Amino acid sequence: MEWNLIFFVNSVLLGVGLAMDAFSVSIANALGESQMKKGRMCFIAGVYAFFQFAMPMIGWICVHTIVEYFEKFDDFIPWIALVLLLYIGGKMLWEAFHDDGEGKDDDEKNRKLTFAVLLIQGIATSIDALSVGFTIADYGLLMAFIASLIIAVVTFAICMTGLLIGKKVGNHLGKKATILGGIILIGIGIEIFVKGVFF
């Protein structure tokens, strides 16, 4: 592969495709936390961008070292994403339906996205990007690094957009926003699973 316009266009398009799940999760997160500040939004988008950078690089390294084991692990990717997102989405729905209206400030704090949950979401929405290691297998190390960096930048921009959309909608929906957020996460988990297993 050569350093040309096609390389950069392909990397951007790859970034857009890979970022769609993270985009939807960003909307879901902002729906449940409509007062989110810009610094926090940048941090959340940055975590997703980091994982979207790391996964293709890990995939590339695996292809160039332990191909046989990586191919076997590839079959488990849809299952891992499904379990993680069903858990997080189910938790959001549980909290929304078991909110009795008392101690509203405490409930809002509990629903706030924790770092641990954010890491799980980052892994769940980017784990399919491991397979991109096969796509960029013919790249040299530097090209693979730059392609992954472009994917990360595109992901960051798309996730920031998702967070802004979710914030706006969340302000109008109130408690229903958490229910919608949970449904979105469960839907993404099922979509990743179906796409990975049947297609």
Per-residue pLDDT tens over the stretch 99-118? 655 444 444 444 567 899 99
| Highest mean pLDDT out of 13-17, 80-84, 188-192 | 13-17
Per-residue pLDDT, 80: 84
Q: What is the mean pLDDT of residues 91-99?
A: 78
Q: What is the mean pLDDT of residues 16-26?
A: 90
C-alpha distances in Å from residue 2, one per residue of 7, 14, 68, 144: 7, 17, 27, 12
pLDDT of residue 182: 81
Q: Which two structure tokens, joined as six digits, stand for 192?
A: 């990743």
The residue type found at 150 is: I
CA distance 37 to 58: 32
> Are 163 and 36 spatial neighbours (Cβ–Cβ below 8 Å)?
yes
Q: If pLDDT is split at 50, 70 and 90, which confidence band does 170 have?
A: confident
What pLDDT is recorded for position 101? 52
Give 85's pLDDT tier (boundaries 50, 70, 90).
confident
Position with higher pLDDT, 109 vs 121: 121
